[in-house]
A and B are shown apart, each in its own frame.
Chain A
């Protein structure tokens, strides 16, 4: 049964989603929601279950428990209907062999019954892709560009992107980020899995962190901004005094320490600095990477 849905319904939801493979665990009890018009960053270390979650959303695998929906439709049962409104970039780019770029894109448009190639041409210019080249001759980065164009060219309501900028040079990464921000302004719903925290930071409204198949963090960017503290790099021969203090130490530098100081303890910290010989002082705002790196490091340990 096909059911169309309008943009306002175009949200993504997973509820207690569990997908288990024969040889190893996949994901367990994953729940999140992407509101229509929002961007969700989906982060996690290698093997955490990001691609498994995306496979479930794409209807490639069926959940053993829980369910996931897009636009209110079950991802596995109504996958063909959902795909009419969805753009997808897989984590591993493998195109059908023996085709040229423009032939492949035309084939994809034909499957979607889209006649206009205007947006496709515009994206090819934006990402500097020569349509006449054979796919097998493309580098990894060029294939990634082709994948991006394929996902965006039919102007869908929803995007599911698995490491979309993998292999792209920094210039093209910026072009891609601009594209995401533009689609976000147009009210599109986007779920983006990425290892590039900076990319997620620039585009996402919310961030979900998954590790070993389980959801371990879910924050809005607004809340994260409030949680950010200042990180100070203090260069001093008396760094052992700082190491012994109660202030959290980020890392030890060659001639000093990097430490995190909350606003309510700033006065106490300045008093401590007054007791030592300070040779240099730098300050920066805590980044999203600083906030999420412990999740990766806990996973490794």
Chain B
């Protein structure tokens, strides 16, 4: 198993490095714009973008502190878009391509079970997302500390829950790849649709708020988490249970599936 996991990590280390750097730089730029002594100026800066911000879940009213501002901007839809790009690429290189190009035949012609191979993908994916969000957290802490004292434990909680959400959606995308024998169409499409539904909620106002219940991206109140006003325990259990369900289903399907290798 260790050999498999190391191999899977090697498949994705360049993507992990590149997109993690992009995310950290992006977050750094966003945080660098804020002046804690003059939050009104950042509100007016974002105010000119008008309803465009609603699509990305960015709320000007919640920009009351550098941490809340970071939660509202970077941790609304933006980090989910970046991490989606990240894990979809990893899923393609780690499981879709080996099935599509039949190179998986070599791995499965060794005493490696299908369950072990797919599990190694999930382990590698989890580790890579941990690196991604871990470095986002560390770089964010560095930048936020330059702006003054902040509730780092609330920031850590936000990063953790955002990362778990991304992980759960990545497991869903992995399940779709396995279900459709290596094809990426729905694995890309379904997460994008779920994210688009969240963005529509923002644009549509009250009339489309019902969409929030149908997309996991609508379940996470990033500003509420850093402000301590959001109940997240039930949400966390739901995300963990759903992620476990996707893993279990994909392992079961893959075990009995015909592979045209």
A92 to B97, CA, bound (A): 15
With a cutoff of 8 Å between Cβ atoms, the chain B residues found around residue A129 in the complex are none
With a cutoff of 8 Å between Cβ atoms, the chain A residues found around residue B207 in the complex are none
Given A62-B258, A96-B98, A88 and B111 contact (CB-CB distance below 8 Å)? no
A183 to B116, CA, bound (A): 31
Per-position 1/0 for B94-138, Cβ under 8 A of A: 000110011101111111110010000000000000000000000
A83, B108: Cβ atoms under 8 Å? yes
A92 to B112, CA, bound (A): 21
A86 to B108, CA, bound (A): 11
B109, A80: Cβ atoms under 8 Å? no
Given A81-B111, A96-B98, A111-B111, A88 and B260 contact (CB-CB distance below 8 Å)? no
Say yes or no: is A202 at the interface (Cβ < 8 Å to chain B). no
A88 to B107, CA, bound (A): 11
With a cutoff of 8 Å between Cβ atoms, the chain B residues found around residue A61 in the complex are 258-260
User: How many B residues have CB within 8 A of the partner chain?
Assistant: 24
A62 to B256, CA, bound (A): 8
Per-position 1/0 for A242-272, Cβ under 8 A of B: 0000000000000000000000000000000
A55, B261: Cβ atoms under 8 Å? yes
With a cutoff of 8 Å between Cβ atoms, the chain A residues found around residue B11 in the complex are 98
B256, A90: Cβ atoms under 8 Å? no
A95 to B105, CA, bound (A): 9
> Per a CB cutoff under 8 Å, which of B97, B102, B111, B258 touches A83?
B111
Say yes or no: is A60 at the interface (Cβ < 8 Å to chain B). yes
A83, B103: Cβ atoms under 8 Å? no
B261, A95: Cβ atoms under 8 Å? no
Per-position 1/0 for B13-31, Cβ under 8 A of A: 0000000000000000000
Given A80-B112, A80-B113, A84-B111, A60 and B105 contact (CB-CB distance below 8 Å)? yes
With a cutoff of 8 Å between Cβ atoms, the chain A residues found around residue B108 in the complex are 58-60, 79, 83
A150, B112: Cβ atoms under 8 Å? no
